[in-house]
């Protein structure tokens, strides 16, 4: 509650300071997503595959001196990963082509620290190839993680290393078909093997990596790819590795203060109402305790209930859920992980299959000319209702079937028009009058609310603050299946 009051006060103060009155047409210029950001947000859930040398050495961060002879996933089956991911509803997989220890899952022409010098398929294997082919076969997008930090490379810390890095990036983006996301991790510099020097190497996060050139390589070779880092520019880290977006989350942000590897995690967690650039928030978390597979982590595999909870705290807060499923030493997702993913999917499908107000007639306190409020229940996210003016509050009313309880509420803004709503509440009409059952701040692409099961004869959504005339594409009411209601 304190947080909410603080947000409202900050918002009012900030509005006054900037000479902006929320709800009036003097709001700042509209900030909009690019077409590829919009499409990415609609994926909702994507997957991470941390699989590399660490899988064989039982580490999370290899030092860089691990022998390639240790790497041999005898039953490796990227199709098993792709199938499980697809069945779980993930729309893309991102593979750690190179993690901080520098070992490459593809036979790079620029290093001997790769699968080419491992027993895997007698040095003839190429896991990036197997991975991208499996993704294509199962209709998944394919993304790659290429760690900027390399604890194996002798030149790390010098300009020569960044040249090597650009060459590796070029290899990955030229030889494996369509790559839809490139993931730049923020961990950088420290102790390592560094070609035998075994020392600590620090880099200047502001100047060491030629990010401008690196980004140009990505967009030149893969025009449709999105770039992730804690400084974006297309997708930004959510500020924690627990998979949780801020209760208030704006897809807008001020990029000027963001530095790869050094951005303010609290700022990333909420985004910025006054932000001047659109960046999709991405919530990364592992299904297990570690990012890589460890036998000792079997007890830590997240339950379907925990995964569902994270879905509400990521997708349900206007961000994208990035779930890591680390393959074991055989090169397979473990049975327990696959089983929990399956149940997770079933719970979501059961919960959201039946919108209790689908097709309902909706009335609004104000509507723009020709804008039918019933578009919010037409089950078409591409159509939307828009209020007639920026005057607030604006209310929408929907008749309910009073015999049907609900405990999940969905709200969606048509973010192709930007993100505007900053405060809302929801009421239902019961025998004793209107009762407030939920309230929130930002909505964005998707806001999901969980409440105790309830019903009434009418539902009213009051939009209390919006930077311009508010618009909504969908409203849904759902009832979680018995047994699934606690998460």
List residues near ligand FUL by CB under 6 A: 60, 185-187, 284, 291
Q: Which is nearer to ligand FUL, 7 or 291 (CB)?
A: 291
Q: Which is nearer to ligand FUL, 179 or 480 (CB)?
A: 179
Distance CA 237, CA 254 (A): 14
Q: Which residues lie below 8 Å from residue 112, measured CB to CB, with a gap of 6+?
A: 68
Q: Which is nearer to ligand FUL, 99 or 420 (CB)?
A: 99
Q: Which is nearer to ligand FUL, 208 or 291 (CB)?
A: 291
| Cα dihedral 410, 323, 76, 116 sign | positive
**Contact (Cβ atoms closer than 8 angstroms) between residue 362 and residue 396:** yes
Q: Which is nearer to ligand FUL, 262 or 349 (CB)?
A: 262
**Which among 241, 237, 285, 226 has a CA at the least distance from the CA of 262?**
237
335-352 and 78-88 helices, crossing angle to 10°: 20
Distance CA 160, CA 181 (A): 25
Provide the minimum distance between the beta carbon of 147 and ligand FUL in the complex, in angstroms, as a whole number.
Answer: 7
What one-character DSSP code corresponds to residue 152? Answer: S
Q: Which is nearer to ligand FUL, 284 or 378 (CB)?
A: 284
- Residue 8: how many other CB atoms lie within 10 Å: 15
Count the alpha carbons within 13 Å of 347 in the hemisphere toward its beta carbon: 23
| Cα dihedral 230, 178, 293, 298 in deg (nearest 10) | 100
Provide the minimum distance between the beta carbon of 320 and ligand FUL in the complex, in angstroms, as a whole number.
Answer: 14
Q: Which is nearer to ligand FUL, 185 or 474 (CB)?
A: 185
Provide the minimum distance between the beta carbon of 301 and ligand FUL in the complex, in angstroms, as a whole number.
Answer: 17
Q: What Å distances lie between residue 244 and 1, 152, 208, 323, 386, CA to CA? A: 18, 33, 30, 11, 30
Provide the minimum distance between the beta carbon of 435 and ligand FUL in the complex, in angstroms, as a whole number.
Answer: 43
HEC-encoded secondary structure of 105-138: CCCCCCCCCEHHHCCHHHHCCCHHHHHHHHHHHC
Q: Which is nearer to ligand FUL, 60 or 298 (CB)?
A: 60
Q: What Å distances lie between residue 416 and 86, 165, 376, 473, CA to CA? A: 26, 35, 15, 10
Provide the minimum distance between the beta carbon of 184 and ligand FUL in the complex, in angstroms, as a whole number.
Answer: 10
- Residue 300: how many other CB atoms lie within 10 Å: 12
Distance CA 103, CA 252 (A): 36
Provide the minimum distance between the beta carbon of 290 and ligand FUL in the complex, in angstroms, as a whole number.
Answer: 9
Provide the minimum distance between the beta carbon of 357 and ligand FUL in the complex, in angstroms, as a whole number.
Answer: 39
Among all residues, whose Cβ is closest to ligand FUL? 187
Provide the minimum distance between the beta carbon of 426 and ligand FUL in the complex, in angstroms, as a whole number.
Answer: 36
Q: Which is nearer to ligand FUL, 187 or 339 (CB)?
A: 187
């Amino acid at each position: 509650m304190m947080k909410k009051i603080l947000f409202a006060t900050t918002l009012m103060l900030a509005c006054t300071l900037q000479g902006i009155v929320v709800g009036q047409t003097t709001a700042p210029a509209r900030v909009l997503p690019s077409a590829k950001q919009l499409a990415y947000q609609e994926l909702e859930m994507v997957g991470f595959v941390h699989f590399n040398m660490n899988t064989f050495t039982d580490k999370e961060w290899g030092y860089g001196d691990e022998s390639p002879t240790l790497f041999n996933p005898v039953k490796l089956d990227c199709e098993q990963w792709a199938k499980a991911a697809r069945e779980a509803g993930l729309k893309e997989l991102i593979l750690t082509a190179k993690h901080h220890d520098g070992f490459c899952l593809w036979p790079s022409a620029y290093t001997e620290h790769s699968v080419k010098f491992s027993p895997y398929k007698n040095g003839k294997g190429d896991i990036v190839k197997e991975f991208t082919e499996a993704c294509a076969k199962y209709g998944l997008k394919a993304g790659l993680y290429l760690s900027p930090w390399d604890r194996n490379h002798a030149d790390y810390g010098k300009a020569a290393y960044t040249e090597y890095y650009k060459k590796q990036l070029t290899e990955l983006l030229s030889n494996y078909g369509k790559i839809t996301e490139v993931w730049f991790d923020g961990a950088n510099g420290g102790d390592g093997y560094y070609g035998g020097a075994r020392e600590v190497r620090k880099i200047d996060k502001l100047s060491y990596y030629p990010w401008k050139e690196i980004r140009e390589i990505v967009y030149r070779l893969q025009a449709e790819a999105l770039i992730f880092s804690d400084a974006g520019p297309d997708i930004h880290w959510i500020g924690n590795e627990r998979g949780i977006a801020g209760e208030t989350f704006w897809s807008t942000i001020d990029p000027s203060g963001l530095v790869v590897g050094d951005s303010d995690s609290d700022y990333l967690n909420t985004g910025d109402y006054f932000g001047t650039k659109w960046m999709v928030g991405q919530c990364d978390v592992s299904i297990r305790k570690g990012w890589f597979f460890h036998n000792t982590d079997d007890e830590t595999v997240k339950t379907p209930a925990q995964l569902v909870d994270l879905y509400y705290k990521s997708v349900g807060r206007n961000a994208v859920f990035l779930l890591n499923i680390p393959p074991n030493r055989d090169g397979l997702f473990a049975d327990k992980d696959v089983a929990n993913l399956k149940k997770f999917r079933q719970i979501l499908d059961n919960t959201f299959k039946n919108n209790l107000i689908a097709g309902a007639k909706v009335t609004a306190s104000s509507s723009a000319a020709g804008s039918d409020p019933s578009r919010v229940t037409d089950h078409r996210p591409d159509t939307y209702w828009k209020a007639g003016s920026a005057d607030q509050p604006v209310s929408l009313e929907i008749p309910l079937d009073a015999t049907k309880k609900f405990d999940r509420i969905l709200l969606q803004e048509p973010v192709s028009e930007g993100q505007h709503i900053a405060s809302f509440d929801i009421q239902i009409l019961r025998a004793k009058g209107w009762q407030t059952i939920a309230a929130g701040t930002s909505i964005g692409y998707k806001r999901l609310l969980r409440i105790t099961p309830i019903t009434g004869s009418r539902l009213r959504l009051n939009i209390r603050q919006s930077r311009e005339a508010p618009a909504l594409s969908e409203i849904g009411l759902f009832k979680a299946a018995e047994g699934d209601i606690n998460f």
